[in-house]
Amino acid sequence: MFGKTKSKAWKQLENIYKHFQNTQMKDLFAADAKRGSKYCLQLENMLFDYSKNRINDEVMQALLALAEERQLKEKIVAMFSGKKINVTENRAVLHIALRNRQNTPIYVDGRDVMPQINEVLERIKDFSEDVRNGRFTGYTGKKLTNIVNIGIGGSDLGPFMATQALRHYWAKDIKCYFISNIDGTSCAEVLNNIDPETTLFIVASKTFTTIETLTNAKTCRKWLIDALGEHAVAKHFIALSTNKEEVEKFGINPDNMFAFWDFVGGRYSMWSAIGMIIAIAVGYKNFERMLEGANAMDRHFAEADLAQNIPVISALIGIWYNNFYNIHRYAVVPYDQYLQYLPAYLQQLDMESNGKAVTMDNKFVDYATGPVLFGGAGTNVQHSFFQLLHQGTEVVPVDFIIPAISHNEIGSHQPILIANVLAQGEALMQGKTEQEAITELQKSGKSKAEIERLKKYKTFSGNRPSNTIVLKKIDPYSLGMLVAMYEHKVYVQGVIWNINSFDQFGVELGKKLANNILPELEGRAFGAEHDSSTANLINHIKKIRK
């Protein structure tokens, strides 16, 4: 497909790039008054404007031909039908089943998975509402109002991002906390701010053996026992896991263990029992609305023509930049404070999924795969990395996200926010020529000498691409749509690159080596073989800690 034997569609795109690479977007806009509406897609209350990209009809047709060549339609069907597309682990990939609101059967190994999914969702509903309504109480009979999620990776980033994004919908007496980092500070800062009598700990670990999660959970368990006694554990801890034996050993009532499955990867799991803290914080009806929003995007992804398919178009434009312009990075900038943690969540979704160098055919790639993703909340980041976006030597495509309506319509705040996001996209695309800079400086009364000195500093190259995603409001439904859009975008790119987006073996090596180093740091083992740098660092740190 790629590499030394390039496909027909790939070669076509290389040829197009040769004569298109220096095309200016502002010239494309000048030549087509309808470009803004032409390169724009809408699904319900989501508008996806991709007109500010270095594309034209020829480019898009060639990218779509690449998708057809890679049998993208068939690969989408394969995922939705429960085929084991995670080939390295021989697993189906069915986060889409978790939000299958039509409840159509989805089979894995001949068995419909929907009954077990619905059973767990019903249990999430009952338990979350019991906590919210005070029917499930702590050991001393007090209502549980401090909810602490203990997890890491997908068991933390998704629930954390979603609860913060939906902060407006929290029950007034509920407070949510998250412990993920093995750094003791992560535990201490939470435990110093909560009351053991009113705290529920949610331990999220499929295997119930994840060292970071279990270390943090044991610290919290000891803290609770010191305050209320060992019998309190069963009333203040629940587990999101499949390891019943270890859950019971910990002291958790197995009736309060909520399962999820190996066809749900960690970074795709907030729609499952891993989303328990979301359901408690915002209520099950709102959690369900989030599932419904994701399902709407799922149906769009599965049913829409590729040329009208938001995740597909977003993914193909990313391929265009990554593999032909050699731009191996992009930024996600939500202009909404509630979405401030979305970029961190998407970092894991994208970079853990597509940060791969081996194909589905078990060969090393010789082309670029997953890009680097970074971002932050606008307008804050306009005063940090936007200088590089506008005038740096690195071109960085941007996804701008903006709700038309804020949950907090105070004075002119939202119009100013919207004006900023629209202006940034326009400025990145248009730039400012040297002559425009000279004219501007003349109008400001600068002398000829000053103009000559400043004109280059005031020049912006422009032609820097962006997508703009407009939502009506950041509510559970729109959040579900937005996250599902990025999930499917990542899958499409994995299909094009012929890599498995659903394993994460790269996470494991460092953890394994850490387990070798730990006994040496604690003085329980000596003489393990390390490179001289690591050995020297171990000795230096041991001396300090003495």
Q: Which residue numbers are catalytic?
A: 352, 383, 511
Spatial separation of the C-alpha atoms in residues 234 and 252, rounded to whole Å: 5
Spatial separation of the C-alpha atoms in residues 262 and 97, rounded to whole Å: 13
Question: How many CB atoms within 10 Å of residue 441?
Answer: 19
SS3 462: coil
Q: Is the CA virtual torsion 371, 376, 378, 383 positive or negative?
A: negative
Q: What is the DSSP letter of 348?
A: I
Q: Provide the residue type at 530 as one letter.
A: H
Question: How many CB atoms within 10 Å of residue 31?
Answer: 9
By C-alpha distance, which of 129, 154, 181 is closest to 275?
154
Question: How many CB atoms within 10 Å of residue 262?
Answer: 14
**What contacts 166, CB < 8 A, 6 or more positions away?**
278, 281, 282, 286, 290, 338, 474, 475, 476, 479
Task: Copy the structure tokens of residue 474.
Answer: 């950041």
Instruction: Could you list the beta-strand ranges (E) of 241-310.
Output: 257-258
Q: Nearest 10 degrees: CA dihedral of 166, 167, 173, 178?
A: 90
Task: Copy the structure tokens of residue 374.
Answer: 């970074």
The vertex-149 CA angle with 116 and 271, nearest 5°, equals 35
15-22 long-range Cβ contacts below 8 angstroms, 24+ apart:
16/58, 16/59, 16/62, 17/324, 17/325, 20/54, 20/56, 20/58, 20/59, 21/324, 21/325
SS3 131: helix
In which residue are the tokens 């594309």 written? Answer: 55
Spatial separation of the C-alpha atoms in residues 96 and 271, rounded to whole Å: 9
Residues 120, 260: contact at Cβ < 8 Å?
Answer: yes
- Residues facing residue 204 across a β-bridge: 240
List helix spans (H) across 81-113.
Answer: 95-98
> In angstroms, what CA-CA distances link 26 with 21, 34, 190?
14, 13, 51
Q: Provide the residue type at 279 as one letter.
A: A
Q: What is the DSSP letter of 99?
A: T
